[in-house]
Each structure stands twice: as structure tokens, then as C-alpha cells.
Amino acid sequence: MLIEGNSALVTGGASGLGEATARAIVERGGRVALVDMNADKGQALASELGDAAVFVQADVTSEEDIGAAIEKAEQLGPLRAAVSCAGIAWATRTVNKDGMAHPLDAFAKIIQVNLIGTFNVMRLCAAAMTKNNPLADGERGVVVNTASIAAFDGQIGQAAYAASKAGVAGLTLPAARDLAKAGIRVLAIAPGTFDTPMLALLPEEARQALAAGIPFPQRLGAPADFAKLAVHLIENGYLNGETIRLDGALRMPPK
């Protein structure tokens, strides 16, 4: 898929991995609808990117919000890429040290945003993409979702987060199969530990310990590393139905 001249909808586009992906798409001549709840950061980035970008304040779990965001994206050019980076983190043990069970509403909230939100964006964007003219190879669009290595090696306290991300990894192949006839590819990236505002919530000591556990390169991932892979997945028309780890060979220990 050629990025230049086409539009992409990027959720979580105001921060971290989504922001870096939006910047990379614009650098390649694409247009971006930045979809996020954070209006201050989203609007600031859209103004910086100029005519190539628009900010849409939207909740990924809302059908109405995402429908409106798709309309905005289509005003910038044919919507041929959807990148889902919106997500939230949460850590609590299934039963905590005081014997309290994991709050069910917290589990449901993580699934709602990370899994159902991602699916909501994918299904609505894919439906819009089916109306695109096929390119020479029959391709109409591409969806790139964000899982996590927690989908495969979730740590203590990550039952909800890991379940949400395993759901994102799990839907990749069946969605690619569902959308094959329409010429729409579906992929997921499973990042390791990346230096974004999400990770900045951890104390510096904990961030350094995380970096020290990465075989090579022994550093946290940079948002630009993620963006490079995201644009490659958009551009490489033979990649489909796969979740790709991007983690410097990190395999997370229990804690």
C-alpha cells in the first residue's frame, strides 16, 4: 500500500506509539486523522503537522465517535490504513496479598478499551475501506493493531491487560481471513517495553531495570522503532494475518 496521497486513521495518535506512527505517515506524504481522547495533545500535534493532519476527539469504544472520525479521515484522502494504538494499562493480582479478588469492573474496562475498542475501530474502518477502488494488486486497505508481548508472556498482575492483548493477537488471523475477499490486510505489532508516556508512569529505577533485562539492544524501544515497523506493515503488501513481536528478544519473567 502506497502511503503517499492516502489517508490513515491512527488511534492513540496524540501520544507515544500512535504519535510516532502519525509522524512517520506524514513524513511519507500520507494524511492522518489523529483519533484520541486527549484533546490538548491531539490538537497540538495536528497543528504542528498542518494540512496533512486532523485531530478528532473520540473514544475508540464508541461506534458514533469512530464513524465521525472515519468521515474526517476520508475528507483528507481515500482511507486505506487504520492503525490502532489507543490503549490503557492496569496491574493487579487475581487475588491480592490481602485476599481481595481482582475488581471485575477494572478487568471489564481494560477489555473494553484495549480489545473491544480495537475491534470497533477495525470493523468500522474495514467497512469504509471496502468502498475504496482496488489498487493494481487488488488491495483496498490495511489494518495494523497493537497487541503486546504481554499477550504471550504476561507478568504477575497483568491478567486483564494480557487477556486484552491476547485478544488483539487472536483476532488477527480470523479478521485477515474475513477481509481477504475485500483486499484488506490485518496485522498486529506486539511491542516489548517502549519509552512512551505510558511507561513514564513507572519510577526511573523500574524503567532502568526493564531496559537491563532486554537482550539486545539493551534499551527501551523508541516510539520511532514502532513507527518504522507500522509503516513497513502498511507498505509491504505480502504481510498479512500475523502478530509481530518488536522487543529486542525480550521474554518477560513472571515479575
Query: Contact positions toward ligand NAD, by CB under 6 A?
Result: 11-12, 14-18, 36-38, 59-61, 85-88, 113, 117, 146, 148, 191, 193-194, 196-199
Catalytic residue, from 55, 107, 119, 161: name it: 161
Nearer to ligand NAD, 157 or 237 (CB): 157
Which positions ≥6 away from 29 have C-beta within 8 Å?
3, 4, 5
Nearer to ligand NAD, 11 or 240 (CB): 11
Residue-wise over 32-42: b if at least 16 C-beta within 10 A, else e? bbbbbbbeebb
Nearer to ligand NAD, 11 or 132 (CB): 11
Question: Under DSSP, is residue 133 helix (H, G, I), strand (E, B) or coil?
Answer: coil
Which positions ≥6 away from 96 have C-beta within 8 Å?
102
Nearer to ligand NAD, 139 or 159 (CB): 159
Closest distance of CB 194 from ligand NAD, Å: 4
Residue type, 159: A
Contact 82, 9 (CB under 8 A): yes
238 is catalytic: no
Closest distance of CB 66 from ligand NAD, Å: 9
Closest distance of CB 192 from ligand NAD, Å: 7
Cell of 197: 508516556
Which positions ≥6 away from 125 have C-beta within 8 Å?
9, 66, 70, 79, 82, 141, 143
Closest distance of CB 200 from ligand NAD, Å: 8
Q: Which residues are catalytic?
A: 161
